[in-house]
Amino acid sequence: MLTIAEASGNIFGYLWADSVPADFDGSRWAKVLCPRGAGFGLDGLFLLYRPQAAEPWRMEHWEPDGSHTFCSNGTRAAACLIGHAPGELEALVSGENVRLRMDDAGVGLRLAEGAAYGLQPSPLRLDHPHALGWTGTPHLIVEVVDVDAVDLATFAPPLRFHPALDQGANVSIIHVLEPGRARIRSWERGVEGETLCCGQGCAVAGAWLAQRSGLDHWQFQPVGRHSVDVSVGSIPDGKWSELWISGPVHRLGTLVPDPALLAQI
């Protein structure tokens, strides 16, 4: 049985590790259960381990194409499965160490930080201002005049697979509405399409805009109905600390896959 939850319009499926078969293969399950049209139209599949006292809450995430990645929005939404009591906890998500904060406004996530994380020099020559960031996955942020005027299905794929980017990149386009507020649209790896929100894309965009503007808090309006708040403590030389994304999350219910669907795994 899958539990379904959402964050910023993205919908994820969750399985508990003590309830799956011994031969569970997350990549195979994600390829069958997630894709639009053939599966449930999920933005990703999570395997959750029961929280243990004094240890990070462990979980693993796979994209619809079966790739094993870190996912910030899905991690925030996972908090629906253990309640919304105010407080913080550490989590280990597909190998990335992050922190979750639950309060009345929703769930916040502090992204991994350290020497490997932050804004990076770009090898790209683009006509638009842009930035690269590493959150555990690569993100390219491109500033445009109007995000609604861009045909993202044409604009994003050449950048997502750009030969100068060894691992490709998630591609987000932004335009600033006013100081502290911006619009964003995102094309994500693994989904290979536009999603309602890329939480890490929002975080990297917020860090870049904070570095440029000196404003340490930015609110992003993605395609989904809920805005995403991004705050950063500091970002010397592009290496952020206390980079948080936050917003509401909701548990949507449960699904029982048909045996014929499970037979494809």
What is the pLDDT averaged over residues 53-82?
Answer: 95
Residue 15 has pLDDT above 90, yes or no: yes
Q: What is the pLDDT of residues 100-155, one digit of tens each?
A: 999 988 999 999 999 999 999 999 999 999 999 999 899 999 999 999 999 999 99
| CA–CA separation, 192 and 156 (whole Å) | 10
- Do 98 and 110 meet the contact criterion of CB atoms below 8 Å apart? yes
Which domains does the chain carry?
2-111+250-262 (3.10.310.10), 118-242 (3.10.310.10)
What is the pLDDT averaged over residues 190-217?
Answer: 94
Residue 84 has pLDDT above 70, yes or no: no
What distances in angstroms separate CA 202 from CA 32, 124, 208, 218, one per listed residue? Answer: 28, 20, 10, 9
Q: Give the tokens for residue 83.
A: 């309640």
Residues designated catalytic: 71, 198
**pLDDT on residue 157:** 95
Give the helix ranges, DSSP H, for 42-110. 72-78
- Per-chain mean pLDDT for the chain: 94
**Residue 188 CB-half CA count within 13 A:** 28
| CA–CA separation, 88 and 91 (whole Å) | 10
What is the pLDDT averaged over residues 236-259?
Answer: 95
166 pLDDT band, cuts 50/70/90, is confident
- Do 62 and 68 meet the contact criterion of CB atoms below 8 Å apart? yes
- Across-strand partners of 250? 6
- Do 204 and 230 meet the contact criterion of CB atoms below 8 Å apart? no
Measured torsion, CA atoms of residues 181, 90, 140, 161, in degrees rounded to the nearest 10: -150
Percentage of the chain modeled with pLDDT above 70: 100
